[in-house]
Structure 1
Amino acid sequence: MFYATAQNAHGLAHDPFKAIVSPRPIGWIGSRAEAGSLNLAPYSFFNAISDTPKMVMFSSSGRKDSLRNIEETREFTANFVSFDIRDAMNLTSAPVPHGESEFALAGLTPVEGEFVRAPFVAEAYAALECKVTDIFQPKTLDGTLSENHVVIGQVVGIHIRDEAVRDGRFDMAKVRPVGRMGYMDYCDAGDVFELLRPRR
Structure 2
Amino acid sequence: MHFNASDFPKMEKFFRRNFFNTLPGPRGLHLIGTKSHRGVENLGLFSSVVHIGATPPLLGFIMRPLTVPRQTYHHMKAQGFFTLNTVDETILAAAHQSSANYPIETSEFKAVGLTPVYSEIVPAPYVQESKVKIGLELVEEHHIKANGTLFLVGKIVEVILPDEVVSDSGHVAHQELGTLSVAGLDTYYKTEEVGKMEYPRP
Q: TM tier, shorter chain?
A: 0.7 to 0.9
CA contact (8 A) 2:43 2:109 kept: yes
- Residue by residue, what CA displacement relative to the aligned partner does 1:82-141 show, whole Å, maximum 9, x if unpaired? 23221121121111100211111222111113322100011111111100111232122x
The Cα shift of 1:4 comes to 1.3
2:38 corresponds in structure 1 to 35
d(CA) in 1 for partners of 2:78 and 2:192?
Answer: 37
d(CA) in 1 for partners of 2:152 and 2:138?
Answer: 7
2:47 corresponds in structure 1 to 44
CA contact (8 A) 2:165 2:174 kept: no
Change (3 A) 1:183 1:125: closer
Quick one: which amino acid aligns to residue 128 of structure 1?
Answer: I
SS for the counterpart of 1:151 is strand
TM-score, scaled relative to structure 2: 0.85
2:184 corresponds in structure 1 to 182
Q: Which runs of 5+ in 1 are unaligned?
A: 141-145
Q: Which runs of 5+ in 2 are unaligned?
A: none
Q: What does residue range 1-200 of structure 1 map to in structure 2 within 5 Å?
A: 1-4=2-5, 8-9=8-9, 11=11, 14-15=15-16, 16-63=19-66, 64-140=70-146, 146-162=147-163, 165=165, 167-168=167-168, 170-182=172-184, 184-200=186-202
Quick one: which amino acid aligns to residue 98 of structure 1?
Answer: I
d(CA) in 2 for partners of 1:56 and 1:179?
Answer: 17
Q: Percent identity?
A: 25
SS for the counterpart of 1:58 is strand
Aligned-residue CA RMSD in angstroms? Answer: 2.2
- Residue by residue, what CA displacement relative to the aligned partner does 1:41-88 show, whole Å, maximum 9, x if unpaired? 011222221111111112121331100101111110011112322112
TM-score, scaled relative to structure 1: 0.86
d(CA) in 2 for partners of 1:134 and 1:37?
Answer: 24
1:143 corresponds in structure 2 to none
Residue-pair matches, total: 193
d(CA) in 2 for partners of 1:11 and 1:65?
Answer: 31
The Cα shift of 1:158 comes to 0.5
